Amino acid sequence: MPASIAVLEGLCAAFNAHDLDAIMDYFIDDCVLEMPRGPDPWGARAEGLPDVHYGNARHFLDGDTGISTWALTGTPRSGSCVEVHGCDFYTFRGDRIVKKHSFWKIRET
């Protein structure tokens, strides 16, 4: 089965439901997730946004590349609210995600 907008919509719904098992069903076992902020050139992984929500999501597909744009809200362990706009670039192998490369706006406070 090829990559599709339905796959990206389902993944977004799984993230909003905070259903880790459902999220991981969209990824291959050795997938790579690259976050925009971290100590390395490719970023780091994010942990601890129990109420994360991806709103205003739009999804696009070109061959084996999917793109999702969104407005993310959530509360990290620090307790301060997060609200950022960003996008994810996905690389697919069939209908499963091989790589998720995330970008978002860095807000100055």
CB 37 within 8 A of CB 44: yes
Kindly list the averaged pLDDT for each block of 10 residues, start to end, along the chain of length 109: 85 94 89 76 64 92 95 83 91 92 82
Q: Which pTM value belongs to this model? A: 0.80
Q: In whole angstroms, how far apart are CA 23 and each of 9, 15, 97, 105?
A: 11, 6, 10, 23
Give the chain's domains with CATH numbers.
5-104 (3.10.450.50)
Tokens of 38: 């971290």
Which secondary structure element, helix H or strand E, spans residue 7, and what is its range? helix 5-16
pLDDT given for residue 48 in this prediction? 60
Tokens of 45: 């992984």
> What is the distance between the alpha carbons of residues 66 and 64, in angstroms, rounded to a whole number?
7
